[in-house]
Amino acid sequence: MDFNFSEEQTMIRDSLARLLRDQYEFETRRKVSESESGWRPEMWQQFAELGLLAAPFSEEDGGLGGGALDSMVIMEEFGKALVVEPYIPTIVCAGGFLKHAGSPAQKEEHLTAIIGGERVFAFAYAEPRGRYDLADLETTAKKDGDGYVINGHKAVVIGAPWASHLIVTARTSGDRRDKDGISVFIVEKDAKGITTRDYPTVDGRRASEVYFENVSVPADALIGEEGKALPLIERVVDEATVAVCAEAMGAMGVAHQMTVEYSKQRKQFGVAIGKFQVLQHRMVDMFMEHEQSISMTYMATLKLDEDEETRKKAVSAAKVRIGQGGRFVGQEAVQIHGGMGMTDELAVGHYFKRLTMIDSEFGNVDHHMRRYTALTAEPVKMAAE
């Protein structure tokens, strides 16, 4: 067992932290988020130059030979600075599908461009009526000659306004919620028949509703095997879930730290409010939640490549704790900041908003608790005494 970071991971963290400190301070982030495009393609280029976009891919695939731990390091730093650029959709999700199931030709076509920072993806999996069930799909892809025709409506596709390509989950056979009959496609966003409604999200990002109307895609748009994609989707979503946990742990740490600092400055009744024990203990509870989030994120990241059941239990356990811890830390941070915590001007409220939205990304506390207990509710025999 080893909890140390490699030299490469430490280097990535240090150089990324420096870049974000210099070019991603809160006011800049606010301006970018409120600008027309809502992100900075040139920042994405800098991420590429730093090697962030190559970090989790094998050398064979043109990457730096790292993996989920590298993404964890990167996402923690992104969480600290509330980075809006679409690392999870492009690198963890699209990159994950290509890494695990892409054909040599698909990798050649897409991975090189992803790693180079030239191609940005969004992951169109959620649907208006599917909630967190990855198999509850109304979007269909019907065989048509060699290719497929896609029809449907994908909901709240994060980063879609910035993307040139989409990863789309769709049903190629079977009924809604069947585990079989699900397939994954790479679709160019400007393909004929796709329309989008773009909008900002409450936590400063961009997303789209994406409508598919008789969108024709060629046979080689399919990633992996037709109709058998659910285990692959679950695996990639688990990897994305852990990445968003890492982002949350970064954001929780900052929200906590800001609160402690504020409590040292802010005076009421003639003393710094940090002298009040009733507030001290709550800030200690925030500290403990943050520490446990770090522990759970490490744990789940380290178990991503174990067998499916172990992986699912680990990821769901982490997402439950981080959903609960993130909510607690966010709410307490605002409360202890008092009225100032309610203002748009202060950064703390923006950390609260991001932490709030992370809970419902890739499944909230209830969803993951249900998935966890479903894997552990089998009756066991009484041990022989």
Distance from C-alpha of 139 to C-alpha of 149, rounded to nearest angstrom: 10
Among 304, 362, 363, residue whose Cα is nearest residue 56: 304
267 in contact with other proteins (CB under 8 A): no
Q: Which is nearer to other proteins, 86 or 323 (by Cβ)?
A: 323
Site for other proteins in 161-220 (CB under 8 A): none
Distance from C-alpha of 366 to C-alpha of 381, rounded to nearest angstrom: 28
Q: Which is nearer to other proteins, 302 or 342 (by Cβ)?
A: 302
Minimal distance in Å, beta carbon 385 to other proteins? 5
Among 217, 174, 176, residue whose Cα is nearest residue 194: 217
Distance from C-alpha of 240 to C-alpha of 268, rounded to nearest angstrom: 43
The answer to whether 248 and 358 are in contact (CB under 8 A) is: yes
Binds other proteins (CB under 8 A): choice among 298, 328, 351, 352: 298
Among 373, 78, 120, residue whose Cα is nearest residue 249: 78
10 in contact with other proteins (CB under 8 A): no
Minimal distance in Å, beta carbon 53 to other proteins? 21
Residue type, 297: T
Site for other proteins in 136-165 (CB under 8 A): none
383 in contact with other proteins (CB under 8 A): yes
Minimal distance in Å, beta carbon 265 to other proteins? 12
Binds other proteins (CB under 8 A): choice among 102, 117, 274, 349: 274
The answer to whether 58 and 305 are in contact (CB under 8 A) is: no
Site for other proteins in 77-136 (CB under 8 A): none
- Give Rg (Cα) of the chain: 21
Binds other proteins (CB under 8 A): choice among 11, 294, 342, 347: 294
281 in contact with other proteins (CB under 8 A): yes
243 in contact with other proteins (CB under 8 A): no
287 in contact with other proteins (CB under 8 A): yes
Angle at 12 (CA atoms; ends 8, 13), nearest 5 degrees: 115
Q: Residues touching other proteins: how many (CB under 8 A)?
A: 44
Q: Which is nearer to other proteins, 179 or 281 (by Cβ)?
A: 281
By residue count, the chain amounts to 385
330-350 burial, b at 16+ Cβ within 10 Å, e below that, comes to: bbbbbebbeeebeeeebbbbb
Question: Which residue stretch of 29-37, 97-105, 189-197, 377-385 sits at the interface with other proteins (rule: CB under 8 A)?
Answer: 377-385
Q: Which is nearer to other proteins, 8 or 209 (by Cβ)?
A: 8
376 in contact with other proteins (CB under 8 A): yes
Our measurement of the distance from residue 180's CA atom to the centroid of its chain's CA atoms, rounded to an integer in Å, reads 25
Q: Which residues pair with 169 in a beta bridge?
A: 184
Per-residue CA distances from 368 to 174, 325, 361 (Å) = 25, 14, 11
Distance from C-alpha of 319 to C-alpha of 297, rounded to nearest angstrom: 9
Minimal distance in Å, beta carbon 365 to other proteins? 10
Minimal distance in Å, beta carbon 382 to other proteins? 5
17 in contact with other proteins (CB under 8 A): no
- Tell me the two tokens of residue 27: 């006011």
Question: Which residue stretch of 52-60, 104-112, 114-122, 275-283 sits at the interface with other proteins (rule: CB under 8 A)?
Answer: 275-283
Binds other proteins (CB under 8 A): choice among 15, 23, 280, 360: 280
Distance from C-alpha of 313 to C-alpha of 336, rounded to nearest angstrom: 34
Residues that bind other proteins (CB under 8 A): 1-6, 69, 260, 263-264, 274-275, 277, 280-281, 283-285, 287-288, 291-292, 294-296, 298-299, 302-303, 317, 320-321, 369, 372-373, 376-383, 385
